[in-house]
Copies of this chain bind each other. A is one copy, B any other.
Amino acid sequence: MFEPWLIAPISAIISILVGLYFYHYVNKQDSGTERMKEIAYAIEEGANAFLRREYTVLTIFVLIVATLLGITLPEPIWATTEPLKNLALSVAYLFGSFCSALAGFLGLSIATKANTKAANAAKEGLNKAFQIGFRGGAVMGLAVVGAGLIGISIVYAITGDPGIVLGYSFGASALALFAKAGGGIYTKTADISADLVGKVELGIPEDDPRNPAVIADNVGDNVGDVAGMGADLFDSYVASIVAVMILGQALGLVEIPLVFAGLGILAAILGALTVRVGKHGSPGRSLNMGTYITCTIFAVLTFVVAYYLNYDPRIWGAAIVGLIAGVVIGMTSDYFTSDDKAPVKKTAEASLTGTATNIITGFSYGLHSVFPPLIGIGVASAVAYYLYGLFGIGMAAVGMLSIVGLIVSNDAYGPIVDNSRGIAMQGALSDEVIRITDEMDSAGNTAKAITKGFAIGAAGLTVIALLAAFQERAGGNITFDLMNPLVLLGALIGIAMPAVFSAMVMLGVGRNAERMIAEIRRQFKEIPGLKEGKQGVKPDYAKCVDIATIGALKELMPASIVAISVTLIVGFIGGIQALGGYLAGTIFSGLLFALLMANAGGLWDNAKKLIESGEHGGKGSEAHKAAVVGDTVGDPFKDTAGPSLNTMITVMSLVASLFAVLIANYNLFKLLGLG
């Protein structure tokens, strides 16, 4: 008989095939003028240089971790009766890292091609250009879900053990942490350094090709938004499925999340194929319509299949609760960063009385913005729980994430068309072309509101499901009572971790920028004719990319190591209860800071743009200067620290789950008889 869960690998393969078709479709398009090709090539080169360097360093790291995992887990190699399991876990971990890296590589490589092709196609009108931009993004989206799910399927098919799939998930997440936080440090380093030496010290314009950091800066958008966002959702996606598989073990429901995920991919593919702008359509509406169509297809498909397979309808209900919550959270987040709503308008207005008021106002609205999503996550998990217990909460996360293929597509569309606009302007294309690329770009921002809501909501539900999975792995019958001193101690340490991690990466940007600034200054000093813009003299772009990359990895390492090692220290000292409290604490404070930073950052950015559009004195006014500072403060919030937090929490939760059994048996408090 056909095993239902095989929907998962089949859908995953279809997804990869459709992704390859889109890749081919985009790739065969014309890249435009020589000048355009040149710009696009430089960005592509830079992005590749970044990835090459990053993956070289990460290979070493990944191999070390794989060895350590192989030695210690599931049981220490010297004490186990099943050494093969250790090998399996270790290989699963490697495989997870590889799949995550592959998805990132594919997405980034097409994104850096699609930008110029979309700009060129805009000469023929919106329809074609939009299609290229969207399909370029969809390569990333389909690669993410395809690689994620095929990987899970393979590991599960071979081992049949969700515990080993956990290793796969950890591999994916650890790599995602580097991609997000490393990319985040990288992109802000390049941004700040390019501006400071170029605009401030030498007075040359933004994006001037004489600036040695200009390519590094352009690369940054792709590295942060495309590769980073993809890796982030890849990791939530895989982690949520694995968490629910573990929760389903005792209930005999291990394969249900695989079925739902497989159907989600089909829904996303169908949705992606319907996305196109009609004669008088708007690109923004098309993107959102694609999301709604995908949601509807998913709801209907899963209902039919669940009915046919005799699944409890409440399981289906829990998944749909998650899906609805994702959309609702997205819509409310939109309120805080839209330039026609009070928060952005008031922050722009506050810029009239100076920088400090701009920052205080934006920060305050950022604080306000945490309320609706937290309520949304809380209500969704409570409803899902009443439907089907902790497994229900997990299914809500799976439901929300099942359509992630389309979400990532929409999201990757953003930086592609943003780059298109830049290339159209630098390549001196016609006003009509620039207007079209503008329209496409603003559609990307509209769609982003909903996708961002999904990402945050999904991360929230996923980490809650992971906490439950940790509990299950640790024995299942334990509670994390807040009045237990170990839980409380763990929670107090846990709530500090996201703050410390954020501080480390943000301070890392500053230190990294110092190194890069020194290099930029050196080039201007030592390369004759560079400053004057002499014909044929080119700066050493690659060197800047390299410095930013190495520096980003260097700054990221301590933060990641602290995150992982504090988790293990808390566990091996305080035991399961302390670790449970600790994870809950990191979830609470991580969600809080992730929301605050993402929304405050977006809000400051849009307040600046609102002023640039002519309000409150427009560009160059005092209000504008204040808003620029606000935006600069918001940059590391929204691009470096904020988005890394989700991944950090996922990594910590996975580490805890992996070591759960070991920790339950060996910890200091237990040894002392206090645990």
Contact = CB atoms under 8 A, between A and B. Distances in A.
A629 B350 CA distance: 14
Interface in A365-386: 365-368, 370-371, 374-375, 377-379, 381-382, 385-386
Contact of A489 (B381, B480, B485, B592): B381
Interface string A462-491: 001001100100000001111101111111
A476 B629 CA distance: 52
Contact of A196 (B353, B382, B629): B353
A499 to B, nearest CB: 4
A364 B503 contact: yes
A206 B92 CA distance: 67
Contacts of A493: 374-375, 378
A198 to B, nearest CB: 14
A394 interface: no
Interface stretch (A67-75, A580-588, A647-655): A580-588
B496 A592 contact: yes
A390 B355 CA distance: 47
Contact of A499 (B361, B370, B375, B379): B370
Given A360-B636, A510-B361, A589 B495 contact: yes
Given A350-B510, A360-B510, A489 B378 contact: yes
Nearest to A366: B503
A506 interface: yes
Interface string A241-267: 000000000000000000000000000
Of the listed residues A366, A379, A629, the one surrounded by the most CB atoms of chain B closer than 10 A to its CB is A629
Contact of A355 (B393, B488, B629): B629
Contacts of A464: 488
Interface string A494-520: 011001101110110110000000000
Nearest to A200: B354
B480 A483 contact: yes
Of the listed residues A464, A503, A580, the one surrounded by the most CB atoms of chain B closer than 10 A to its CB is A503
Given A371-B500, A500-B367, A357 B495 contact: no
Interface in A320-368: 350, 353-357, 359-361, 363-368
A664 to B, nearest CB: 16
A633 interface: yes
A204 to B, nearest CB: 18
A46 to B, nearest CB: 24
Given A356-B632, A633-B356, A483 B479 contact: yes
A496 B361 CA distance: 18
A379 B591 CA distance: 24
Contact of A588 (B354, B495, B504): B495
A375 B592 CA distance: 20
B365 A580 contact: no
A497 B468 CA distance: 25
Contacts of A629: 354-356, 359, 629
A157 to B, nearest CB: 31
Interface string A147-174: 0000000000000000000000000000
A596 interface: yes
B364 A496 contact: no
A492 interface: yes
Nearest to A355: B629
B483 A468 contact: yes
A561 interface: no
Contacts of A490: 378
A414 to B, nearest CB: 24
A6 to B, nearest CB: 32
A60 interface: no
Given A374-B493, A467-B482, A382 B488 contact: yes
A368 B503 contact: yes
Contact of A483 (B357, B360, B471, B509): B471
A489 B383 CA distance: 10
Contacts of A467: 482-483
A482 B378 CA distance: 12
Given A482-B480, A506-B360, A507-B364, A496 B385 contact: no
A674 interface: yes
B633 A375 contact: no
Contacts of A375: 492-493, 496
A253 B576 CA distance: 32
A581 B480 CA distance: 12
A378 B492 contact: yes
Contact of A485 (B360, B382, B486): B382
B502 A367 contact: yes
Given A374-B495, A499-B370, A589-B589, A485 B364 contact: no
A607 to B, nearest CB: 14
A379 B480 contact: no
Given A368-B503, A503-B368, A487 B496 contact: no
Nearest to A365: B503
A569 to B, nearest CB: 12
A196 B354 CA distance: 10
Nearest to A371: B496
Given A503-B364, A510-B350, A588-B589, A633 B359 contact: yes
8 contacts: A350-B510, A356-B632, A367-B500, A367-B503, A375-B492, A382-B488, A481-B482, A492-B588
Given A360-B510, A364-B506, A390-B483, 20 more contacts: A360-B636, A367-B506, A370-B500, A371-B496, A374-B496, A375-B496, A377-B492, A379-B489, A381-B489, A382-B486, A479-B481, A480-B482, A480-B483, A481-B482, A491-B588, A495-B592, A499-B596, A588-B588, A588-B589, A592-B592
